[in-house]
């Protein structure tokens, strides 16, 4: 794969992970209360949120590293 393709894939993956992280803390009618104290889409919030944000950040850092390599 070319560098541009890998960079684009990492950008899309990072954006999807960031959106998923935002989705984990949305209020939702479920049967379990999260550690935040309210009913959320993900009962493991805020830990799942932090894990998804970490993975999105890691993808962003790897993308920036790939783009900074000399041709």
Please give the Cα distance from 29 to 52 (Å, whole number). 22
Q: What's the total number of domains in the chain?
A: 1
**Structure confidence by residue, pLDDT tens digits, 25-51:** 999 888 888 888 899 888 888 999 999
Rama region for 37: left / alpha / beta (φ>0; ψ in -120 to 50; rest): left
* pLDDT (0 to 100) of residue 31: 85
Q: Please give the average per-residue pLDDT across 1-7, as a whole number.
A: 92
Does the pTM surpass 0.85? The reply is: yes
Segments forming the whole domain that contains residue 36: 3-68
């Amino acid at each position: 794969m070319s560098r541009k393709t890998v960079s684009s894939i990492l950008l899309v993956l990072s954006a999807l992970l960031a959106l998923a992280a935002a989705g984990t803390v949305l209020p939702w009618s479920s049967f379990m209360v999260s550690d935040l104290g309210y009913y959320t889409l993900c009962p493991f919030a805020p830990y799942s949120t932090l894990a998804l944000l970490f993975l999105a950040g890691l993808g962003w850092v790897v993308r920036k590293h790939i783009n900074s390599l000399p041709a």
